[in-house]
């Protein structure tokens, strides 16, 4: 009855019209009474004696932890300067100062891609003013706690309290003034840009750290006027401008270009970015043009022309069985080529061509589909040839000791490469394990069970030390490359199990429906089974991604300078910041957390977007 | 529209099928699940443009039989010939038969991750190798025919059961099949929605499609079927023209069945 009453009241007071004007059959849903803060607290935190006790105990524990943390951070003994001064070391290790613009180019490319993707995939949401007010209220409350709990001097405490009160006052003002403007919203992206602008602006004002890392000097850190902020304020300002410009360009393009084509182009660019940035921009190979013209280009041309001829024949619907036999022979030849000495690129190209040839009937069709397929072969071949040539060419960037990048860059690089390569491999393993062909099933099961039974560290050590010894003469594998291969194998075994869980959730009816319209098993897998299986496995897959990202820190054990290793060993070894391990590790864990949290948020958005659990 | 089913439209109620070609021929088809015999020497012939309704109690092998015809189940003995192609383990024959035979399932089995339009166009584009624009205009025409063109951009989960089943029919028709199989198409539907699906099936039958329907809808059988087949225990107990079957059943078991459901 209450529901009915309240709805009547609201309709008459709000609309000011007699109820007869609105359809009588429609009764508005009952209005849930809005609780004030005190009522909410009473209902949720102090509803029963047990609940009271729990609330008090938890609050005390939380406050104690918060206080301990603040006491640690703001202890005058802490050497936070070590972190600020060595930011560049933590991000890129000893990348040469005079070549540093390459790093900024990479950052710019990634930012441009991110901004374009955000524009084209409609990222960001609208926050109403009252929501912003509520968020600021929480921030203000935390600031008050912060001011009261931190071991500040009285003056500092007063200052912080004043700041907190200003924030609280502004929040309350927003909440009160938002009553009239329900439709007023602010985009989360605007808030993000405002926050980032604030941070970048602070670089112009606050001299974070007192100097930057200067190699080839002893001691390497010198009290010179070159602060971290001095060397990064201009680049970061530029980066912010580039990102904003790219975003608006993306928005302008979004409505003019065909949506699907733009999205596919962007995804391809995202996949190309890591190897291109790493091996072409950061590593800067010194191409030997003579070698390129006499060896690399002819090989590329031969495969491009031969592949075009073969694939246009194979994608003709009339080719039929003979095509499959020919592709199988090429695959066999590709494997046999490892028995005789020849250039690695010839073998890899042949294997790639065999895979394209085997998949050709699935993608065959009209002349347009045929052209697209051949074009994608030439594109892939070109990218592959360029990359392999680049990797095999000596670099112009000389970095003392080991790999040419380190710190956060190598953490990201290993994580991205491992994930990108192990995803297809893991999916293939999962499909093989659920396949009806016993050989595939057996091999996949053995591989997965074997790899899962070995600790990651063992695999990493094996691949970094042992595998280079087993390689045939004349073949070199860099330590980092070897480690990534090992990590890929490890990751793909776990991924396969996650995907297999998704595969098992596909009902038999789906397969039968696909069968009944005459799809081949490749089409069935690609269009029906995998999309649904991957959608179901988003949560465990993202968990896996986060795990892979964090466990790159194990690379330190085999002597790779990742960010954790630098924070734990390298910086505390500098004379000026002797024993600053705790600060550095805390900072490094904050960075790890930011990345992991962003991945987790992205997965939540992905789940919402794909309608997991709804459709 | 290049739909063969609309090209020929014999709308007369009583059709002379004696000269028509045999499109489905089953000879002594048997199948076992372990020790349980699901089909026991089933023999029947279905002619072009004929509408055959298969009746029988639960577990009588109706669904198993109809699923053998497009090889969703394998028969173990006997012969099944569909449109002059014998079903064997040869994958090419199976693919050929499946692209000629459309099937509608009890549980609709729409692809939940694709829009209605994509559900209908997927197979024409990838199996029939049609250009996308052509496949889409054909799909829209089919959705129009089953009465739900306005739902094309929605996902299956947003549609009612009856609408989903009509999409499933459109999806099967998009492959331009010569034969349609219906495996209890209305059993998972509310009574209100059964009619909309049966109406679509009726117009399909009138357009001259060869149809084999497993159903419990006696009204539909009486009105639309040319012939009825009654099964029990994996065997065909009786098959007869619709008129004869209802007015003059010969077997005791058929009489009992009819007395219970009519």
Tens-place pLDDT, residues A214-256: 555 554 544 444 566 667 888 899 999 999 999 999 988 888 8
With CB atoms and an 8 Å threshold, state whether A528 touches B102. no
Q: Do the domain assignments include residue A599?
A: yes
The answer to whether residues A554 and A447 belong to one domain is: yes
What would the mean pLDDT of B229-234 be, rounded to a whole number? 91
Determine which helix (DSSP H) or strand (DSSP E) holds A136, and give its type and residue range. helix A129-149
> Which of the four pLDDT bands, split at 50, 70 and 90, describes residue A181?
low
Q: Do the domain assignments include residue A277?
A: no
Dist CA A584 CA A89 (whole Å)? 12
With CB atoms and an 8 Å threshold, state whether A519 touches B127. yes
Domain end, chosen from A393, A422, A452, is at: A393
Dist CA A204 CA A200 (whole Å)? 7
Specify whether the CB–CB gap between B139 and B124 falls below 8 A.
yes
Q: Do the domain assignments include residue A173?
A: yes
What digits encode the pLDDT tens for the residues A68-112?
988 888 888 888 878 887 888 888 887 777 788 888 999 999 999
The answer to whether residues A184 and A329 belong to one domain is: no
The answer to whether residues A57 and A118 belong to one domain is: no
Dist CA A552 CA B124 (whole Å)? 46
Domain end, chosen from A338, A373, A393, is at: A393
Dist CA A495 CA A422 (whole Å)? 8
Rounded to the nearest angstrom, the minimum Cα separation between A268 and chain B is 22
The answer to whether residues A466 and A590 belong to one domain is: yes
Dist CA B220 CA B155 (whole Å)? 29
Specify whether the CB–CB gap between A197 and A244 falls below 8 A.
no
What digits encode the pLDDT tens for the residues A514-549?
999 988 888 899 999 999 999 889 889 999 999 999
Dist CA B19 CA A584 (whole Å)? 90
* Facing A518 at nearest CB: one of B105, B123, B158: B123
Enter the pTM of the model. Answer: 0.82
Specify whether the CB–CB gap between A470 and B68 falls below 8 A.
no
Dist CA B175 CA A517 (whole Å)? 7
Nearest CA in chain A to B173: A517
Number of domains forming the structure of chain A: 5
DSSP A400: S
Give me the pLDDT at residue A494, please.
94
What digits encode the pLDDT tens for the residues B182-220?
999 998 888 888 999 999 999 999 998 999 999 988 889
The answer to whether residues A162 and A194 belong to one domain is: yes
The answer to whether residues A422 and A556 belong to one domain is: yes
Residue A523: closest CA among B234, B104, B228, B111: B111
What digits encode the pLDDT tens for the residues A330-340?
888 888 887 77
The answer to whether residues A254 and A307 belong to one domain is: no
Q: Do the domain assignments include residue A132?
A: yes
The answer to whether residues A444 and A494 belong to one domain is: yes
Instruction: Say which residues have a Cβ less than 8 Å from residue B239's Cβ, sequence separation at least 6.
Output: B44, B227, B228, B229, B230
The answer to whether residues A546 and A556 belong to one domain is: yes
What digits encode the pLDDT tens for the residues B41-89?
999 999 999 999 999 888 889 999 999 998 899 999 999 999 888 888 8
Q: Do the domain assignments include residue A567?
A: yes
Q: Do the domain assignments include residue A227?
A: yes
Domain end, chosen from A351, A370, A393, is at: A393
β-strands B101-104, B51-55: how paired? Answer: unpaired
Q: Which chain A residues touch B125 with a CB distance below 8 Å?
A: 365
CB within 8 Å of chain A, chain B residues 3-42: none
Q: Is the dihedral of CA B145, B151, B152, B154 positive or negative?
A: negative
The answer to whether residues A367 and A478 belong to one domain is: no
The 8 Å CB, 24+ separation contacts for A188-194 are A188/A124, A188/A125, A188/A126, A188/A127, A189/A118, A189/A123, A189/A124, A189/A247, A191/A127, A191/A132, A192/A124, A193/A240, A193/A244
Three-class SS string for B141-186? HHHHHCCCHHHCCCCHHHCCHHHHHHHHHHHHHCCCCCEEEEECCC
CB within 8 Å of chain A, chain B residues 67-86: 70-72
Ranges A21-25, B163-167, B258-262: which has the least confidence:
A21-25
How many CA atoms within 13 Å lie on the side-chain side of A298?
Answer: 6
Dist CA A120 CA A104 (whole Å)? 24
Peptide bond into A219 cis (omega under 30): yes
Dist CA A90 CA B201 (whole Å)? 69
> Which residues constitute the domain of residue A47?
35-73
Specify whether the CB–CB gap between B152 and B115 falls below 8 A.
yes
The answer to whether residues A440 and A589 belong to one domain is: yes
What would the mean pLDDT of A375-391 be, rounded to a whole number? 87
**What is the DSSP code string of A175-222?**
HHHTTT-TT-EEEHHHHHHHHHHHHHHHHHHS--SS----TTSSSS--
Q: Do the domain assignments include residue A386?
A: yes
Give me the pLDDT at residue B211, please.
93
Q: Do the domain assignments include residue A507?
A: yes
Q: Where are the alpha helices (DSSP H) in A393-507?
A: 408-433, 438-452, 456-461, 467-470, 479-504
Q: Which chain B residues touch A515 with a CB distance below 8 Å?
A: 70-72, 98
Dist CA B76 CA B35 (whole Å)? 13
Specify whether the CB–CB gap between B189 and B165 falls below 8 A.
yes
Helix, strand or coil, per DSSP, at residue B30:
strand
The answer to whether residues A110 and A59 belong to one domain is: no
Q: Is the pLDDT of residue A188 over 80?
A: yes
Q: CATH number of the domain that A545 lies in?
A: 1.10.3720.10
Dist CA A171 CA A272 (whole Å)? 45
């Amino acid at each position: 009855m209450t529901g009915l009453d309240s709805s009547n009241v609201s309709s008459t007071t709000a609309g000011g019209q007699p109820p007869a004007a609105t359809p009588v059959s429609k009764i508005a849903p009952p209005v849930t009474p809005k609780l004030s803060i005190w009522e909410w607290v009473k209902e949720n935190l102090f509803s029963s004696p047990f609940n009271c006790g729990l609330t008090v105990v938890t609050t005390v524990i939380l406050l104690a932890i918060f206080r301990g943390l603040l006491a640690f951070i703001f202890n005058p003994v802490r050497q936070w300067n070590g972190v600020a001064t060595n930011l560049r070391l933590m991000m890129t290790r000893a990348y040469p100062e005079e070549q540093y613009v390459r790093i900024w180019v990479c950052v710019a490319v990634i930012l441009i891609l991110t901004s374009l993707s955000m524009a084209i995939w409609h990222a960001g949401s609208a926050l109403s003013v009252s929501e912003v007010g509520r968020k600021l209220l929480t921030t203000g409350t935390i600031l008050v706690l912060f001011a009261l709990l931190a071991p500040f001097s009285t003056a500092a405490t007063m200052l912080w309290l004043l700041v907190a009160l200003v924030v609280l006052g502004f929040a309350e003002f927003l909440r009160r003034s938002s009553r009239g403007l329900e439709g007023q919203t602010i985009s989360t992206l605007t808030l993000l840009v405002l926050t980032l602008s604030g941070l970048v602006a602070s670089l112009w004002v606050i001299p974070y750290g007192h100097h930057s890392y200067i190699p080839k000097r002893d001691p390497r850190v010198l009290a010179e006027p070159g602060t971290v902020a001095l060397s990064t304020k201009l680049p970061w300002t530029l980066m912010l401008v580039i990102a904003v410009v790219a975003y608006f360009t993306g928005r302008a393009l979004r409505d003019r270009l065909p949506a699907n084509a733009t999205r596919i182009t962007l995804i391809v660019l995202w996949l190309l970015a890591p190897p291109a940035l790493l091996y072409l921009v950061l590593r800067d190979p010194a191409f030997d043009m003579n070698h390129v013209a006499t060896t690399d280009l002819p090989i590329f041309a031969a495969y491009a022309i031969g592949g075009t001829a073969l694939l246009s024949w194979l994608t003709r619907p009339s080719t039929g069985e003979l095509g499959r036999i020919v592709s199988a022979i090429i695959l066999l030849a590709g494997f046999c080529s490892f028995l005789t000495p020849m250039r690695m690129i010839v073998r890899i190209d042949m294997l790639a061509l065999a895979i394209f040839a085997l998949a050709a009937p699935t993608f065959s069709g009209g002349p347009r589909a045929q052209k697209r397929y051949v074009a994608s072969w030439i594109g892939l071949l070109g990218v592959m040839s360029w990359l392999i040539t680049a990797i095999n060419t000596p670099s112009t960037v000389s970095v003392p000791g080991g790999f040419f990048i380190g710190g956060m860059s190598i953490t990201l690089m290993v994580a991205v490469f491992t994930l990108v390569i192990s995803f297809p491999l893991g999916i293939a393993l999962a499909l093989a394990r659920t396949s009806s062909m016993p050989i595939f099933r057996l091999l996949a099961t053995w591989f997965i069970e074997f790899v899962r039974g070995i600790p990651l560290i063992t695999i990493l050590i094996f691949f970094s030390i042992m595998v280079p010894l087993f390689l045939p003469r004349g073949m070199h594998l860099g330590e980092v490359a070897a480690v990534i291969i090992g990590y890929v194998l490890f990751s793909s075994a776990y991924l396969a199990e996650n995907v297999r869980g998704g595969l098992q959730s596909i009902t038999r009816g789906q397969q039968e429906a696909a069968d009944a319209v005459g799809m081949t098993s490749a089409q069935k897998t690609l269009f029906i089974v995998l999309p649904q299986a991957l959608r179901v496995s988003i949560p465990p897959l993202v968990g896996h991604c986060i795990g892979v990202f964090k466990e790159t820190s194990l690379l330190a054990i085999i002597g790779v300078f990742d960010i954790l290793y630098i924070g734990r060993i390298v910086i505390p070894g500098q004379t000026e910041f002797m024993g600053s391990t705790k600060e550095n590790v805390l900072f490094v864990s904050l960075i790890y957390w930011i990345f992991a949290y962003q991945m987790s948020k992205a997965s939540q958005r992905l789940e919402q977007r794909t309608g997991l659990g709804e459709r | 529209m290049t739909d063969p089913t609309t090209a020929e439209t014999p709308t007369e109620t009583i059709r002379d099928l004696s000269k028509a070609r045999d499109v489905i021929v089953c000879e002594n088809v048997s199948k076992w699940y372990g020790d349980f015999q699901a089909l026991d020497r089933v023999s029947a012939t279905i002619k072009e443009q004929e509408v055959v309704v298969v009746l029988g109690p639960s577990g009588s092998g109706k669904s198993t039989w109809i699923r053998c015809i497009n090889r969703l189940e394998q028969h173990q003995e006997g012969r099944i010939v569909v449109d002059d192609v014998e079903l064997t383990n040869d994958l090419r024959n199976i693919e050929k038969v499946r692209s000629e035979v459309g099937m509608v399932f009890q549980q609709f089995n729409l692809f939940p991750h694709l829009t209605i339009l994509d559900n209908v166009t997927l197979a024409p584009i990838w199996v029939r190798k049609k250009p996308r624009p052509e496949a889409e205009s054909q799909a829209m025409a089919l959705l129009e025919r089953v009465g739900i063109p306005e739902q094309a951009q929605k996902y299956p989960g947003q549609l009612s059961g009856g609408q989903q089943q009509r999409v499933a029919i459109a999806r099967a028709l998009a492959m331009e099949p010569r034969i349609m199989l219906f495996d209890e198409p209305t059993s998972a539907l509310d009574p209100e929605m059964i009619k909309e699906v049966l109406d679509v099936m009726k117009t399909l039958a009138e357009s001259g499609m060869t149809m084999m329907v497993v159903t419990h809808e006696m009204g539909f059988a009486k009105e639309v079927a040319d012939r009825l087949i009654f099964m029990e225990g994996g065997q065909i107990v009786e098959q007869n023209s619709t008129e004869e079957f209802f007015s003059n059943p010969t077997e005791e078991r058929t009489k009992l069945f009819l007395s219970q459901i009519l």
